[in-house]
Chains A and B, each alone.
Chain A
Amino acid sequence: MIVIGVDVGGTFTDLVLADLHSGSITTHKVASTNANPAEAVITGIREICELSDVSPGDIGSVFHGTTVATNAMLENKGARTGLVTNSGFRDILHIGRHQREQHYSIMQDLPRQSRPMVRRRHRKTVDCRMDADGIELQPLDEDGVRTAARELGANGIESVVVGFLFSYVNPTHERRAAEIIREELPDIFVTTSAGVVPQFREYERFTTAAMSAFVGPKVRDYIDSLQRALTNLGVVSELRIMASNGGVATPALVRERPAVTLMSGLVAGVKGGAWVGAHADATKLITLDIGGTSADIGIVQDGQFAETDARSASIAGFPVLLPMIDIHTIGAGGGSIAHLDRGGAFRVGPQSAGADPGPAAYAKGGDKPTVTDANLVLGRLLVDDFLGGNMQLDLQAAKNAINGLAETLGRNMEETAEGILTVLNSNMANAIRSRTVQKGIDPRAFTLAGFGGAGPLHAAGVAAALGIERVLIPPHPGITSAMGLLTTDLQYDALRTAFEIKGNVDCNRMEGLFADMETELRTLFSKDGIGSDKIGLQRIGDLRYVGQGYELRVEFPDEPVTDETLKTVWQAFHDQHRKEYGHAFERSPIEIVTVKIRGLGDVEKLTRLPQHGTLKNAEPVGTGQCIFRVNDTLNTFETPYYRRTDLGAGQRHKGPAIILQKDSTTVVPPDWTFAADGYGNILLERVGSDVSVNGGEQP
């Protein structure tokens, strides 16, 4: 079977075509078409089919990562959205948690107030109320709903969200209200808060649901137009869309729950990194995807991705309650600008020169010193071998930019350039610590996978700052995301709020919740044509000590809920708490806040990387002067340049070295060694900081 992965980025749309039988892989890149991203997708698919001599009709599946939903949020360009909510609670979306984003600011804006997804005039209230047990305190005013729907329709509303208090316990009112609204406004996108995520905390749930309504029509139109275009191209297979939870979803599901694609584009990178890592036997992996302006970090242990907790995920300043892979993004990349701030402190980023004008070395008018300029000045990038030689770099321009900053600092150019890299690497190391050390995970036991255009340049430096001794560079660092798409199963999540307390758990009710979710998921999978033997279900709970406000995730055993099976759950919770916070309160009662099932539907996907060439003795294609810091001093090294395609499996070389390839450049510092494996990955290993270094001399 032939499968294609298409990942749409801001500048490029990346494609990978894989023949699952022969294992052969073709990669391709086309310019993104931001006005209608589908155009580049179609162009790319047509071209990659031609490149690999495949007819579109022979494509088995198209896997797709999209930023349509994300961009609608970031650019605040969604549908004209209305809300129907309880009387007395018109402004939950506006008041939020009554907290400012910034402690020390008078002039700040609160996104929920300065750019609301639903304006107050479109927030309608109706009488109805449930209590915390889901018992009706006040019946739904159906006429009120009808009137509200008509008013919203008259106001040109394109999308409606229904959000009632306690709908996560009893969604009857929300469902009935949605029904009435659909009767009144048959062409309009209608969604309910419990339908999107039946979890407590009304501001976060209503906001997540409003987000779904806000991006819904746009996502739906995009998917529809893409499907039509694919059909016109002769593609008969179904589209699979990357979801924030790390699985793929079908167009039908995405049309119904558009919010699942909020992190679609980002997630593919972590998936790709994880998949490559698995091939290199890296069971504990940190993925570091560095582009021009930002770096995305993900954590994978034994194939499991770290997920965000219900309290930490947000997009464009709005909270998101949906299950999402935890991807930590910081403003650090190749275009990050080094500067002194107003107080005279040295900083790298978050401002970026972007692609235009770009770093000074691009000679497109940029004159600010960037990370790319520092890499060039230190000899880590080659003037005539950047992006496979497609772009000539201007060394003098880079030197001028770095020198300007060096003079201000009273340092020489090399020290300044190296300082830029040290600070950038340190910023990324801190970001990784926030997702590891802060959660009781020791990063030193991990492998760091560096990809994206700039990941392989910095991976070893970041690893060294964290005490990590193993670095992995995938075969095609620049298109790891597109590759990740091809490795993904269908994944649907179901969840329910439980609020059950240890010692008093209603096991029958719990089992009922799980059974209900199982049915929900099996129905979804069967709609997608997934046989029951291809479905995997994992029961999960979010637990906390009674009174705490944050939950920790614990897996439930795959057997009926009884007091006996719960014992393992309680113990797992104590253990997890101790692991994350260094402390457990063994005598305190525990509350099961939410129960979930993660459903995986096995689909045909890429299972192996193509084997690489046999061992051959790679010879450098040249050498150059590169500057590295070793044992706290800067030294210049005569450094060999290798061509990546020349590296055979197994042969280990000593650093320093620079490895060139079309879509990235890998830096191997002096105290590291490297070797390619049978899949074409490069593995860097740290020798130790006290290594005797040959050929180094102080500049």
Chain B
Amino acid sequence: MNTRVDPFLAAVIHGALENVAIEMGHKLMRMSYSSIIRESEDFGTALTDATGRQLCECTMSTPLQSGPIPGYIEGILKELDLRGDEIRPGDVFMHNDPYAGASHGPDVGFAVPIFHGGQLAGFSVTTAHHLDIGALTPGSCGIVDAVDTYAEGLQFKAIRVYDGGKKVEPVWQILRSNIRIADLVVGDMEAQVAAARIGAERYSALLDQYGLQTVTDAYEDLLDYSERLMRDAISSIPDGSYNARTHIDGYLDSDDPSLKDLPIEATLTVKGSEIHVDMTGTAPQTTHKPINMPLVGTVDCAVWLTLRSILLDSETYGSIPQNSGLTRPITIYAPRGCLANPIFPAPVIARFCPGNALADTIMKAIAPAVPEQVSAGIGNLRVMAFSGVSGGSQWVHMEIMEGSYGGRFGKDGMDAVDTLYANTRNNPVEDIEAHLPLRVLNYELRENVAGIGTWRGGIGSIRGFELLEDGAVSIEGDGQKFKPWGFLGGEDGSPANVQLVRSGNVVEELPSKIPYRQLAKGDRLIAFGPCGGGYGEPKKRRSEDVLDDVLDGLLTEDGARAHYGVVITDGKVDQTQTQRLRSQTS
């Protein structure tokens, strides 16, 4: 095997690079104010080379934040080139253009250029999801009715926020006066700049110690290394074409048929050590509704992440450096003007759920080729933004509602957890109630709704909130109509739903997307999470596993008999009856 630097030095430099990205993440997470960064960990940090190729990422960051970082840098470089602008030491750039790298507008990136010997050597970048970016309604999620990208909030295309080391005050003033809860958001942005600068400092020191050429060679080796792993994994899949089609809700309450029941289709062509992903068959873009997915920043990340999680599962492979080498063997095509490749200025701010559904479609397509490495269909997520004015000041709170995984070969799906391209953390009940006029009513697993199979799907949660003062909510969800898919004889899982309970216990079933809606004190929102699909034939589920679910209150004895053919009496499996029942029906 040919490498540019000796393997020992390479190991030392790779370790140092990763250490830098982790330090950036650690500091960003700790310095930031809003719960979306510090608790949910919806941020990314990475170092890139001078062209934007990613060298390393922070292990704490969420994949959907660090994944797009190369695209941010490419977008910044392209924009500066158009303007005939040059990067100078001490500059810091702000960028969130979803048509030039960003996943959507609220994910604002800050890039600090790194110079070595008077030459641009790379970038230190932080990205983070901000609570508000000056859109039409408070918060940065649940903006499900923006008509174009201009309605989604401020747009930054390679904006210089520090110029040769000097703060560009007017820009910061614009931020302060156009963003709600500016103290929080601008504080988080300052934390992003501080963390990116730390990364730049550390990277410079590394260049001083080893020289640009050696470090460059070491990371070229690192990219080759990641590429080699991915190619080996792809090579083990039989050549051929693998197709899947799923549907998202879109706007279930809309009269316009082009806004609901929207197909997402993926065809994966495996040839040797390469995969080509073709999204043809996916619904046309929703020109005036923001559930379109930027091809660069959302679709590509969803594809990469899913294939990597399946083919190079870290449970088996250990941690593999996430860098641009991993994506080299994968090409992606989506017809222009479809949901997965929208045309500017089609709005994209609510691309979160469709993007994760796309990730799920990729898994469904490849599943027959690698059945022991996938889960059955996942339950998608949902974001709720609560807001209001309390004691004279405005508040916004975002809560990401978890989904669940489908059953897997040899094990049940993971319950009540973020799925595929999202991996955030919930907010403690005790943190929410201590700081916001909200009461959490419950938070536990749903019962009798799991996707049945030899290995059942993961179980969704039920989580309810009550407003203690007048306020508002926006909801950005999906997966309320179409069930997570079952696999190899396993049955489909259960969809999600949300209820609004108003005074007098009037229950209203809500569609998956709710634009800003005012609520009164005492109103309650109850979110039922989706349950992943089952894996394998239910009749083959071990009777002890069925019994465990019954004893744990997740399944009734009647359910055990009806779905699994397992007869339980007095807390024990009746083997004779079970055998009889199972042989009858199979």
Contacts and interface: CB of A to CB of B under 8 A. Distances in A.
B369 interface: no
Interface of A is mostly: loop
Contact of B30 (A107, A113, A132, A550): A550
B380 to A, nearest CB: 14
A438 B22 CA distance: 9
B7 A106 contact: no
B10 interface: yes
Interface in A98-115: 98-100, 102-110, 113-114
Interface in B156-200: 183-184, 187, 190-191, 194, 197-198
A547 interface: yes
Contacts of B554: 120
Contacts of A545: 33
B541 interface: no
Given A99-B425, A344-B228, A419 B6 contact: yes
A88 B441 contact: yes
Contact of B416 (A94, A131, A582): A94
B405 interface: yes
B318 interface: yes
Interface residues of A, number: 72
B428 A342 contact: no
A503 to B, nearest CB: 14
A150 B425 CA distance: 36
A218 interface: no
Nearest to A411: B6
A107 B229 contact: no
B552 A119 contact: yes
B16 interface: yes
A344 B225 CA distance: 7
A426 B63 contact: no
A548 B552 contact: no
A540 to B, nearest CB: 19
B39 interface: yes
Contacts, number: 226
Given A102-B315, A107-B408, A426-B15, A95 B30 contact: no
A74 interface: no
- Please tell me the size bucket of the interface on B: 35 or more
Given A104-B314, A110-B414, A548 B30 contact: yes
A345 B7 contact: yes
Given A165-B430, A548-B32, A95 B552 contact: no
Interface stretch (B75-83, B250-258, B303-311, B574-582): B303-311
Contacts of A581: 27, 30-31, 194
A103 B63 contact: yes
B418 A100 contact: yes
A203 interface: yes
Interface string B1-42: 100001110111011100100110011011111110011010
A294 B170 CA distance: 53
Contact of B26 (A90, A107, A438): A438
A227 interface: no
Contacts of A347: 11
Nearest to B441: A88
Nearest to A552: B30
A91 B443 contact: yes
Contacts of A315: none
Nearest to B554: A120
Given A88-B442, A200-B431, A106 B373 contact: yes
Contacts of B363: 106
A307 to B, nearest CB: 15
Contacts of A121: 551-553
18 contacts: A91-B416, A91-B445, A95-B402, A95-B445, A98-B418, A99-B424, A107-B411, A120-B552, A121-B551, A132-B433, A165-B430, A200-B430, A346-B7, A411-B6, A418-B8, A434-B19, A437-B23, A550-B38
Interface of A: 87-92, 94-95, 97-100, 102-110, 113-114, 119-121, 131-132, 165-166, 168, 200-204, 340-348, 409, 411, 418-419, 422-423, 426-427, 430, 433-434, 437-438, 499, 545-550, 577, 580-583, 585, 588
Interface of B: 1, 6-8, 10-12, 14-16, 19, 22-23, 26-27, 29-35, 38-39, 41, 59, 62-63, 183-184, 187, 190-191, 194, 197-198, 225-226, 228-229, 232, 305, 308-310, 312-318, 320, 322, 363, 373-375, 402, 405, 408-409, 411, 414-418, 423-426, 428-431, 433-434, 439, 441-445, 461, 464, 551-554
